[in-house]
Amino acid sequence: MIVHLGLGAFHRAHQAVYTEDAGGWEICGVTRRSRAVGGPYTVISRGPHDDSAREITVIREALVAADEPDAVVARIAAAEIVTLTITEGGYERGGMLELLARGISKRSAPLTVISCDNVPRNGEVLRDLLGAPPGVAFPCTVVDRIVPTPEDPLTVIAEPFSWWVIEHFEGPRPDWNARFVEDTRPYEKMKLRLLNASHTALAALGIPKGHATVAEAIADPELHDFVRRLLDEELLATVDAPGAEEYVETMLERFANPRIEHRLEQIATGAEHKVRQRLIPAADELRAAGREPELIDQVVRQALR
């Protein structure tokens, strides 16, 4: 069994789909507030011109953390894998992490805990927050799929593209169609500094111009040219992952999909966390190499206004 903490749209369109495809495993999802997101639901992959829909049934139980903390702890104590999607601002003791710590303390068997978010070195960060408990592996991962906030709890809209990179770990796991690597750092840097940094730029510069979505913003010739220059002149120089240039071209095509309502206000939320992870390290590297990151600085100033 897998226990997932943070049962939101992204998990239901990403890790849950990978687990459904693998077969033979079930997920107990833990939500902060609403049990409505448990049980069977539909994922609609929305391309530029057409849709494909499928039912996902792998989430067999949903628990509300605030109402059923002891049940959550018991499921974690019995799980083979725990996954989390708690976003950049969730990495502090209390809430979901307190329940995770309690569940781990009741175990005697090994456990793998997998963070599925945009936090750099997410597994290491979580391991250190929990005090490096013995017998628990915290592989770092990189996840990538654009999933707008849904309006219907029984339907999740997502782009067709999906990508998951996981550091190798021992122990049982589903036969996920993911990329298993020794070190996720190059892929993490590519995702954060190319896709996520570009999203932050579009939100910071697009909202003042009246744009509501990523597709609207990237269709603005001025913003498109700015993001292209930001990537080509500054961000790509700080990325050494294989296939980075091809990733950029695919990424810009994904941004332009007019049928994905990825709202800029959603991206702008938590900007103080996001710029520190997506933009500041790249700017620091450029300065260390003797270059002024003028475009990055422009985005950071606007994002933090």
Least trusted range by pLDDT, from 67-76, 188-197, 267-276: 267-276
Measured CA to CA, the distance from residue 106 to residue 219 in angstroms comes to 52
Q: What is the CATH number of the domain that holds 173?
A: 3.40.50.720
pLDDT at site 278: 93
Q: What is the CATH number of the domain that holds 219?
A: 1.10.1040.10
pLDDT at site 88: 62
Using pLDDT thresholds of 50, 70 and 90, give the confidence band for residue 255. very high
Q: What percent of the chain has pLDDT over 90?
A: 87
Of 130, 153, 181, at which residue does a domain stop? Answer: 181
pLDDT above 70 (res 26): yes
Task: Give 108-125 pLDDT, tens digit per residue.
Answer: 999 999 999 988 899 999
Looking at the DSSP bridge assignments, the partners of residue 115 are 84
Measured CA to CA, the distance from residue 118 to residue 163 in angstroms comes to 13
pLDDT above 80 (res 61): yes
Q: Are residues 46 and 133 in the same domain?
A: yes
pLDDT above 90 (res 153): no
Q: Are residues 31 and 146 in the same domain?
A: yes
Segment 175-198 shows an average pLDDT of 96
Using pLDDT thresholds of 50, 70 and 90, give the confidence band for residue 150. confident
Q: Are residues 166 and 245 in the same domain?
A: no
Which helix (H) or strand (E) segment holds residue 18: the answer is helix 15-22
The two structure tokens encoding residue 41: 């639901």
Measured CA to CA, the distance from residue 113 to residue 136 in angstroms comes to 7
Segment 33-47 shows an average pLDDT of 87
Q: Are residues 166 and 195 in the same domain?
A: no
Of 181, 212, 228, at which residue does a domain stop? Answer: 181
Measured CA to CA, the distance from residue 137 to residue 182 in angstroms comes to 14
pLDDT above 80 (res 34): no
Tell me the residue type at 236.
Answer: L
Tell me the residue type at 63.
Answer: L
150's CB contacts (< 8 A; 6+ apart) are 9, 156, 157
Give the chain's domain count: 2
pLDDT above 80 (res 192): yes
When the pLDDT of each residue in the chain is averaged and rounded to a whole number, the result is 94
**Structural domain of residue 251, as residue ranges?**
185-303
pLDDT at site 90: 65
DSSP state letters, 49-77: S-EEEEEE--EEEEEETTT-HHHHHHHHH
Phi and psi at 202, nearest 5°, equal: -65, -40
- Using DSSP, state whether 216 is helix, strand or coil: helix
pLDDT at site 144: 96
Measured CA to CA, the distance from residue 22 to residue 29 in angstroms comes to 17
pLDDT above 90 (res 38): no
Q: Are residues 140 and 32 in the same domain?
A: yes
Pair 237, 229: CB distance under 8 Å: no
Using pLDDT thresholds of 50, 70 and 90, give the confidence band for residue 89. low
Q: Are residues 17 and 150 in the same domain?
A: yes
Measured CA to CA, the distance from residue 281 to residue 278 in angstroms comes to 7
Task: Give 130-148 pLDDT, tens digit per residue.
Answer: 999 999 999 999 999 999 8
